[in-house]
């Protein structure tokens, strides 16, 4: 019985650790937020982009327009986002930014 409970806890923990939201959060922290002097928090990024809906985030990422728009106000962050997109992690970035747009702001990004 104890092993079943332990296994279910481990499985739930592992599933959360590999979720697109967590991957997107880690990528954003690594390539955009922690740029010395040029890092930008996710809510501020969305505010600067003027995003009004979560579908708009999908369009910006899918078309690659997000890099061009971010480059206008923060070129270093644009390079970080470009690196994320080149890695093929559009889904993870999209899930993370949509979650932030919907109010699920992780600690350190508020």
The 10s digit of each residue's pLDDT in 60-74 is 888 888 999 999 998
Q: Cα separation of 59 and 28, whole Å?
A: 18
- Is residue 45 within 8 A of residue 78, CB to CB? The reply is no
Which pLDDT value is given to residue 86?
A: 92
Q: Cα separation of 70 and 51, whole Å?
A: 12
Lowest mean pLDDT among 4-13, 24-33, 92-101: 4-13
- Is residue 49 within 8 A of residue 93, CB to CB? The reply is no
Q: What's the rounded mean pLDDT across residues 88-109?
A: 87
Q: What angle do CA 93, 99, 103 make, to 5 degrees?
A: 145
92 falls in which pLDDT band (50, 70, 90)?
very high
């Amino acid at each position: 019985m104890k092993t079943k409970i332990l296994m279910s806890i481990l499985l739930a923990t592992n599933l959360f650790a590999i979720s697109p939201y967590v991957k997107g959060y880690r990528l954003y922290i690594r390539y955009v937020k922690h740029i010395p002097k040029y890092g930008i928090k996710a809510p501020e990024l969305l505010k600067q982009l003027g995003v009004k809906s979560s579908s708009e985030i999908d369009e910006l990422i899918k078309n690659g327009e997000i890099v061009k728009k971010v480059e206008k106000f923060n070129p270093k962050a644009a390079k970080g986002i470009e690196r994320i997109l080149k890695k093929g992690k559009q889904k993870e970035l999209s899930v993370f930014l949509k979650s932030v747009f919907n109010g699920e702001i992780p600690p350190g990004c508020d």
